[in-house]
A = this chain, B = another copy of it.
Amino acid sequence: MSLPFPILLLLIFSTSSSFFITLAHCKIPRLGISPKMLTNEPDAPTQKLNDPNLKMFYFNQNLDHFTFTPKSYMTFQQRYAIDSKHWAGAKDNAPILAFLGEESSLDSDLSAIGFLRDNGPRLKALLVYIEHRYYGKTMPFGSAEEALKNASTLGYLNAAQALADYAAILLHVKEKYSTKHSPIIVIGGSYGGMLAAWFRLKYPHIALGALASSAPLLYFEDSRPKFGYYYIVTKVIKGTSERCYNMIRKSWKEIDRVAAKPNGLLILSKQFKTCAPLNGSFDIKDFLSTIYAEAVQYNRGPSYSVTNVCNAIDNNPPNRKKGLLDRIFAGAVALLGNQSCYDTNMFAHPTNNNKAWRWQTCSEIVMPVGYDKQDTMFPTTPFNMTSYIEGCKADYGVTPRPHWITTYFGIQDVKLILRKFGSNIIFSNGLADPYSVGGVLEDISDSVVAIKSNNGSHCQDIVMKRKGDPEWLVMQRDKEIKIIESWIATYQKDLRALNISI
């Protein structure tokens, strides 16, 4: 099995030198709801939720909804979970809250997501969680090994097919509970947030509304500045500590300087306690860049990761003479904890999740995220579509379709288009989340609305409530649920006005 990002290595080999300080380009920062270092990977033992109200099911799902060839009739078992404890039932057309899974296993979603459980009793809602195809236990072709093998099997892993899966399961759930007119609210985060918004737009007859948390659905083609993601990473770190920002900014050159020495990579490897020898300074630079991105993306209580990383960089070691890279290393340790050695490739292990997501970014989820703004703590490395495409082609033998998302879902001129089309979508974003740069940040209409928080991190509103959550977060969640309640109330009124019963 090749590494998930081989293109990355190739490119760096050909461009890195002591004259050019670059970072790996052609890599799309990870989406996802939880910090990677805390997420249960499907390869690891999954955390079973011991809630007896939560029941697991499998649905016999079509491999391909959009063709009718004999092969398209293959089916696979799609996993979903239901909690009906608080549901008021079909006779009241009581609502359904449906979580649309993103690029991770249902288990990790169940352990991270709080919005449904936290609001189920208040809304007397049926709670449904659906696993995304090709993640967790929802594997077409009988096994992850087969499903994730090559473009012939991976080809059925994409957003349109996933949305059609959700449509089929939600209609099935309604039938199962004999509740034709219960309104469904779909909820998702990150890539799953895009899916939630798109689901409301493509399947308005199934979902009454959507809560799209931290969905960077505008970060395609030229709709947003390509440097936006790392611009926000920089901004948050600079806002936390100017000193920290400055040290990080200077560190890249220092890394390259050390690497250029005789035995430089060995020195670097020792400096950063890497588990394996380094292939180049880019191994360290990419590792660090991902650490800063993750620290900012998931910067939230109780342990604010940016503060921790910057405290470590600013204050450690007390003896200043120990040097810049000692400080930088201390930052990494602050995030990852004390380890006997550090795996610089830890974010790109060929886990099933990473393999599946890498395919998605190499087929349609082509988000042009680069480092090409002066005001940044990162070395300038603009996104290069040509080499991105070439890398994907080399890996899979098929060419990405970077225009497909904008063709099918449409994102350009979102105000112009959605102001008079569509309804009932909440786009929630934390402005301290680097991916917020791809989010909808302004109200579009009365019911297609943007909810922002200055300090919010990626998907923070939909993860589980905690004691000690900041006031603004408590209020944001309350605002969201009140909007959803108003959609449901209007719908119930419409039902009565049209004299539609169960």
Segment with Cβ contacts to B, from A402-410, A449-457, A462-470:
A402-410
- Which of B68, B416, B418, B423 meets A398, CB within 8 Å? B68
Q: CB of A309 within 8 A of chain B?
A: no
- Chain B residues contacting A411 (CB-CB under 8 Å) are 205
Segment with Cβ contacts to B, from A148-156, A344-352, A474-482:
A148-156
* A202-B205 in contact (CB<8A): no
- Chain B residues contacting A421 (CB-CB under 8 Å) are 204, 421-424
Cβ proximity bits A94-106 to B, threshold 8 Å, 1 near / 0 not: 0000000000000
Q: CB of A257 within 8 A of chain B?
A: no
- Chain B residues contacting A494 (CB-CB under 8 Å) are 416, 419-420
Separation of A419 and B494 alpha carbons in the complex (Å):
9
Which of chain B's residues has its CB closest to A418's CB? B204
- Chain B residues contacting A423 (CB-CB under 8 Å) are 420-421
* A66-B66 in contact (CB<8A): yes
* B69-A410 in contact (CB<8A): no
- Chain B residues contacting A203 (CB-CB under 8 Å) are 408, 410
* A70-B155 in contact (CB<8A): yes
Separation of A68 and B400 alpha carbons in the complex (Å):
8
Q: How far is the CB of A167 from chain B (nearest CB, A)?
A: 5
Q: CB of A399 within 8 A of chain B?
A: yes
Q: CB of A373 within 8 A of chain B?
A: no
Chain B CB within 10 Å — which of A71, A160, A161, A408 has the most? Answer: A408
Separation of A66 and B408 alpha carbons in the complex (Å):
10
Number of copies: 2
A130-173 interface (Cβ within 8 A of B): 151-152, 154-158, 160-161, 164, 167-168, 171
Separation of A494 and B410 alpha carbons in the complex (Å):
18
- Which of B363, B413, B420 meets A68, CB within 8 Å? B363
- Which of B167, B403, B408, B417 meets A407, CB within 8 Å? B167
A466-496 interface (Cβ within 8 A of B): 490-491, 494-495
* A410-B68 in contact (CB<8A): no
- Chain B residues contacting A202 (CB-CB under 8 Å) are 202
Q: CB of A1 within 8 A of chain B?
A: no
Interface size class of A (residues with CB under 8 A): 35 or more
A375-427 interface (Cβ within 8 A of B): 397-399, 401, 403-404, 407-413, 415-424
Q: CB of A38 within 8 A of chain B?
A: no
- Chain B residues contacting A57 (CB-CB under 8 Å) are none
Q: CB of A283 within 8 A of chain B?
A: no
* A500-B407 in contact (CB<8A): no
- Chain B residues contacting A447 (CB-CB under 8 Å) are 420
Q: CB of A109 within 8 A of chain B?
A: no
Given contacts A205-B413, A494-B416, A495-B416, contact A156 B407 (CB under 8 A): no
Which of chain B's residues has its CB closest to A409's CB? B205
* A70-B151 in contact (CB<8A): yes
Chain B CB within 10 Å — which of A72, A415, A418, A495 has the most? Answer: A72
Q: CB of A206 within 8 A of chain B?
A: yes
Separation of A408 and B412 alpha carbons in the complex (Å):
24
Given contacts A65-B404, A404-B65, A495-B416, contact A152 B206 (CB under 8 A): no
- Chain B residues contacting A408 (CB-CB under 8 Å) are 65, 164, 167, 203
Separation of A491 and B417 alpha carbons in the complex (Å):
9
- Chain B residues contacting A403 (CB-CB under 8 Å) are 171
- Chain B residues contacting A156 (CB-CB under 8 Å) are 67, 69
Q: CB of A364 within 8 A of chain B?
A: yes
* A412-B204 in contact (CB<8A): no
- Interface residues of chain A, those whose CB is within 8 Å of chain B, are 64-73, 151-152, 154-158, 160-161, 164, 167-168, 171, 181, 201-206, 363-364, 397-399, 401, 403-404, 407-413, 415-424, 447, 490-491, 494-495, 498, 500
Q: 5 A–B contact pairs at CB < 8 A?
A: A66-B67, A67-B156, A205-B411, A416-B494, A420-B447
Top 8 closest pairs, chain A to chain B, by CB: A205-B410, A69-B155, A66-B66, A68-B363, A204-B421, A67-B155, A68-B155, A205-B417
Query: Known pairs A70-B152, A204-B421. 5 more at Cβ < 8 A?
Result: A68-B398, A68-B401, A69-B151, A181-B413, A421-B423
